[in-house]
Each structure stands twice: as structure tokens, then as C-alpha cells.
Chain A
Amino acid sequence: MKISIMKPGLLSTVQDLGRYGYLSQAVPVAGAMDQLSHRLANKAVGNDDDLATIEFTYAGASFKAETDVLLAYSGDGAFLVYNEELMPAEKPLFFCASSIIKLIANPIGVRTYLAVAGGWSVPNVMGSKSTYLTAGFGGLKGRALQKGDVLGNGNELNLVSAGIKDQLIKNELIFPNWRISRESLLPHNRQTLRVVLANEINWFDATSIISFLTKSYNVDRRSNRMGYHLVGKPLMRKVKRELLSTAVTPGIIQVTGSGDLVILMADCQTTGGYPRIAHIAAVDLPLCAQLKPGDEIRFSEISQDEAEELYLEREHDLALITTAISLKYIR
């Protein structure tokens, strides 16, 4: 199965669940910004969650099926359109060779993930297929996708993917009648992000901690795969001493010297020296990946134990989805 990129759009890169083995050598995690959408796109074609998808940024990209292909997409940056018809998300989609698929704007978010049955084939670099643009490695030749790039699936189709493909071909369908409900995994209120207070919380004065947990913040234009700058009431420090550089990870909210908040994202550095006020609960981090400049957000506090419980529940729900899909195709 192969596609060729006709228009790459603003920024399209190959990503997986990230690169964890080399953090001590300052190699960032990278990987899909919205890991939930990445995983659901993979699940919808019968893949394991860690196979590579294409991360598209906003709309504008288009591609052509060079062979028959079994694809699925998820996310909030764009809708897939084929033959002037909107294609449903979180469902397997079968396109015949020569089909042309376009991404049109979805006003909700930023990033959309495209999975292929068997996963996109790019070399493994340090245990991951994720693109890290700053150092130019991973993904397709360490760079963003360009017009003319051809990408194909890496692995042989597993039983589930093959089952989905056979069902769609036999019934001459583009997609089946089932879909994964992504909405049921997302909180009702997407503007409020749950946070766990961080180690340096007492470095900030009480009024600032209260404003952090009650006031709204807007996503600034200086926002990318490394992190999001927020605009809002600056936080004041009670403790003035410097933090010696120590490990950080995506989701952490750092406070800069001028009191501004920065949410670290997938491509963030592995260590940082700014005090940290909180970290975004892992289950809400995918929502961050869909934030656009200007979007308004608020933070609400949960405990470290609650955050861990939510994480484990989410993983349990995601495992159930995989089981449910497998059961449709494997007896």
C-alpha cells in the first residue's frame, strides 16, 4: 500500500509514540503531539498503537493513493474529503488506487493523524520512527513531508487489518458501519485542563497560585511542537533562587523569568531550569495538542493519585477498544 504526497500542507511529519531510550543523551521524546488521536487512528485499521502515523498540521494537504490503501484518521485539525464527500474519522477507510484525498479545515483544532494498515514505513532511529526536525533525524529523512514523497506500509497486514480490508472489498464499501467513539474518551469541557501541582509550587506566592487555578490564559502565537507560550496574569515568585537544570517531560508547565507560563510539548528539551508550577494530567495532554493561538484555557487541580488513576483507567478503556475491534474480525 502506497500514497504519494501531492500537497504537504503547513507541517506534516511521521510520528509514533516517541523516543524514550535516549533522554539521558538529551534526545527529546518527540512523537505524536496528540497521542490519543494517533492511537485511535492506528486502532481503526487494526494496528498496534506504536506504529507510525502521519501528523498533519491544520488543513491544506492532499495525497493520492498509488495502490489500494486501507487508512484511518483521527484528530481535530482537518477532515478527510474524497470525491467531494466528507470521510468519517476513527473508522477504517478503503480507497482504490488513484483516489485523491484532501484535508479540509476543521475549526476545532490543529493536528490530524493518518494511519495505514501495517504502519508507515520509515527507518527506526534510536528505537523510534518519530521525526525530530531540530536535529534532522527520524521520520522520512529527518524532515517534514514534501510534494512527491511516497510512503508505504511497513509490516504485513495482521489478521485484523486483513479482515477489515476483505470485508470492505467484498461489500464494495469505503468504510464499515462501526466506528470508535473518540468523544467518549474526551472530557465534556475541553477548555479546562486538569493539572497536578509541581515540586516548585511553593516558590510562587499564594495570590499567584490562586490566579493560576482560577484565571483564564490564552495560547500565544509562539506555540509549536516544542511548547506553548500562554498569555495571562504573570505569576510572582516568593522564592527567588534559581533551579539547577533537571529533567522535564511533555506536559510540564514552566514559569519563565518574567512570570509567563510555558506548557512543554512533544519536542521539548529533556532538561530545563525554570521552576515548574504544575503538569497537565496525561489524559488531558492530547487536548493541548489541539490548542490554537488565541484559544482560552483554564486549569483545575487534581491530586497526583487521581492523575495516575485516570491514566490507568484511560489505558484500560483503550485496551477494550482494541479487543472489541479484534473480536469483530478474529474468531
Chain B
Amino acid sequence: MAEQETYFSDDYPIKIYGLSEQSLTIEFGTVINENLLSLITGFNQLLFKKPFPGLVTAVPAYCTLTVFYDPLIISTSGLSGTTCYDKVSNYLKKLGSAKREQSTVITDNVIIPVCYGGIYGPDIATVALTNGITENEVITIHSSGFYTVFMIGFVPGFAYMGGMDRVLATPRKAIPDSKIPAGAVGIAGTQTGIYPIETPGGWQIIGRTPLKLFDVNRSQPSLLRGGARVTFKPIKVEEFNDYAV
């Protein structure tokens, strides 16, 4: 068995840069892949297990983890370094020299029911036509895939997911719709995603989930988090309506 790696290692040479007076970014790499995702997810979880005084929050993205801090608390803390930026960087570097404990990384598994086609998926025919397959095949292929959430961004609760079968790839609409309802499941290029709130958008809408992707009344408002595994389950209109009640 290979020797256990550390979070910051030669395999993943990290770069730290200041983003503002209250934040800095750790760059773990420059390409999207699942190893990097698991590294960032693990380091983010470690940071909250071992926070420094003045840690405000952290935002994971494809290749980066951005750490927000309160300079007033940092400047009077015992962390080593001259500036707040140095103090936080030094702390993170020390934390990054710890051995990775992949087994302890928490991964969410989320099943998302989707009512495909019909009034909830008005663009399913476009996706089928573009790719020379039937609407039923679109449903089968989309709902048999395993998807990974790389990051949450764009609007509250929106998950950037990887893992869609390229057979379904369909360009965005030339003219975006002025209103796409919350819960709409769409395809844009090689990506699939779910609209958490009603917004304008140009994605091809193939279905809708009755789940709330974003709900301010939940302790974790966003249903999905970076690192989550997602699968879609086809449901009938009646089941969709039952959820709504």
C-alpha cells in the first residue's frame, strides 16, 4: 500500500493568494477532476474540525478553497506571522502538512426524483432530436447516470455537476427563457443542472423535481454540497403532485 499522502504534497503543489483583506484562496490545481474534489472536500472538513480563531467561512470551488477570516481577531491572535494574511497562510500550511484521512471524508448521497417530459420538461424533444434518440432514451440515460457535485455557485443552491453522458449534450437556447421555475432540470452543453430558484436561463429543460434545492428555512438551505453524489429517479406526474401537497 502506498504511503499515506498529506493534503499539500508534491502531487498537489498548492499556491496561496490573497483575495481581499478578509479572504485568501488556496489553489490545489488547475484542472477539474475527482481526486482534486476529494482533496478539497477533505481539507475543508479538516479546517472546520480544527478551525483557527477568526475563521468566518470557507468556499470550495473546482480547484480552490477560499477561506474568509476576521482580521481584527487574527491580528490579536497568537498565530505566527506578521500580517493577518501571513498568520492565516501559515496556519493553513501547517494544517495541510497533516496526513490525509480519506476514509473520514463525508460524502452525501442524494437521490433526486424528476418528472421528465410533458409540461415539466418542455425541451425534452429538442434534446432527443439533437442527439438522434427517443425521449424515453433521454430519460433512461439521464436517470441511470452517477453525478458528482463539484461546487455550488451562480445562484443560491445551484450545483455544478459532472458525470452526464455526452450522448445527451445539447447546446443552450439561442434566446434564454425569461423565467425558468425552481426545480427545473436542464441540460446546457455537456452539463446538467437544477434551477434552485426561479431565474431567467437558457438551459434545455427536460424535467422538474418537486424537491426544494434551496430552502431558507432548512438548517442547510442548499440540498446539495460540494462533493455530493447525485442520482436522478424518474417519477410520474401523480407522484410529483403528491410531493407538492
Residues of A near any B CB (own CB < 8 A): 20-28, 125-126, 134-137, 196, 198-199, 244-249, 251-252, 269-271, 279, 281-282, 304-305, 307-308, 311-312, 315
Contact of B19 with A279 in the complex, beta carbons under 8 Å: yes
Contact of A312 with B72 in the complex, beta carbons under 8 Å: yes
Main secondary structure of the interface of B (DSSP, over half): mixed
* Given A23-B59, A27-B221, A244-B63: A249 and B19 interface contact (C-beta under 8 Å): yes
Contact of A311 with B21 in the complex, beta carbons under 8 Å: yes
Q: Which residues of B contact A270 (CB under 8 A)?
A: 59, 153
Q: Which residues of A contact B25 (CB under 8 A)?
A: 199, 246-247
Contact of A311 with B62 in the complex, beta carbons under 8 Å: no
Contact of B62 with A269 in the complex, beta carbons under 8 Å: no
Contact of B21 with A281 in the complex, beta carbons under 8 Å: yes
Nearest Cβ in chain A — how far from B34, in angstroms? Answer: 15
Contact of B22 with A282 in the complex, beta carbons under 8 Å: yes
Nearest Cβ in chain A — how far from B179, in angstroms? Answer: 13
Contact of A20 with B68 in the complex, beta carbons under 8 Å: yes
Contact of A252 with B59 in the complex, beta carbons under 8 Å: no
Chain-A contact segment, one of B124-132, B134-142, B156-164: B156-164
- Jot down 12 A-B pairs with beta carbons below 8 A, ordered by A: A21-B57, A22-B156, A27-B221, A135-B155, A135-B197, A199-B19, A244-B32, A245-B62, A247-B59, A271-B153, A308-B84, A311-B71
Q: Does B109 sit within 8 A of A, measured CB to CB? A: no
Contact of A24 with B72 in the complex, beta carbons under 8 Å: no
Q: Which residues of A contact B154 (CB under 8 A)?
A: 26, 269, 271
A245's contact among B61, B85, B157, by CB below 8 Å, is which? Answer: B61
User: CA of A251 to CA of B22 in the docked complex: distance in angstroms?
Assistant: 11
Closest 7 CB pairs of A and B: A271-B153, A247-B66, A25-B222, A247-B59, A244-B62, A311-B21, A246-B61
Residues of B near any A CB (own CB < 8 A): 17-23, 25, 27, 30, 32, 56-64, 66, 68, 71-72, 75, 83-85, 151-158, 160, 197, 199, 214, 216, 220-222, 225-226
User: CA of A24 to CA of B152 in the docked complex: distance in angstroms?
Assistant: 7
User: CA of A311 to CA of B151 in the docked complex: distance in angstroms?
Assistant: 31
Q: Which residues of A contact B23 (CB under 8 A)?
A: 247, 249
Nearest Cβ in chain A — how far from B1, in angstroms? Answer: 32
Contact of B22 with A245 in the complex, beta carbons under 8 Å: no
* Given A247-B61, A252-B20, A312-B71: A20 and B153 interface contact (C-beta under 8 Å): no
Q: Which residues of A contact B59 (CB under 8 A)?
A: 23-24, 247, 270-271
User: CA of A281 to CA of B214 in the docked complex: distance in angstroms?
Assistant: 33
* Given A199-B17, A311-B71: A245 and B57 interface contact (C-beta under 8 Å): no
Nearest Cβ in chain B — how far from A182, in angstroms? Answer: 21
B221's contact among A126, A245, A252, by CB below 8 Å, is which? Answer: A126
* Given A244-B32, A247-B64, A270-B153: A23 and B221 interface contact (C-beta under 8 Å): no
Nearest Cβ in chain A — how far from B22, in angstroms? Answer: 7
Nearest Cβ in chain A — how far from B81, in angstroms? Answer: 11
* Given A135-B214, A315-B72: A25 and B152 interface contact (C-beta under 8 Å): yes
Contact of A26 with B157 in the complex, beta carbons under 8 Å: yes
User: CA of A82 to CA of B56 in the docked complex: distance in angstroms?
Assistant: 41
Q: Which residues of A contact B214 (CB under 8 A)?
A: 25, 135
Contact of A26 with B21 in the complex, beta carbons under 8 Å: no
Nearest Cβ in chain B — how far from A43, in angstroms? Answer: 16
Q: Which residues of B contact A134 (CB under 8 A)?
A: 155, 197, 199
Interface centre among A21, A24, A279, by most B CB within 10 Å?
A: A24
Contact of B153 with A26 in the complex, beta carbons under 8 Å: yes
User: CA of A33 to CA of B72 in the docked complex: distance in angstroms?
Assistant: 21
Contact of B30 with A252 in the complex, beta carbons under 8 Å: no
Q: Which residues of A contact B30 (CB under 8 A)?
A: 244
Q: Which residues of A contact B32 (CB under 8 A)?
A: 244
Nearest Cβ in chain B — how far from A322, in angstroms? Answer: 13
Nearest Cβ in chain A — how far from B243, in angstroms? Answer: 21
* Given A246-B61, A281-B21, A312-B72: A24 and B226 interface contact (C-beta under 8 Å): yes
Nearest Cβ in chain B — how far from A224, in angstroms? Answer: 15
Q: Which residues of A contact B151 (CB under 8 A)?
A: 245, 271
B85's contact among A269, A308, A315, by CB below 8 Å, is which? Answer: A308
Nearest Cβ in chain A — how far from B126, in angstroms? Answer: 26
Contact of B158 with A24 in the complex, beta carbons under 8 Å: no
Contact of B57 with A24 in the complex, beta carbons under 8 Å: yes
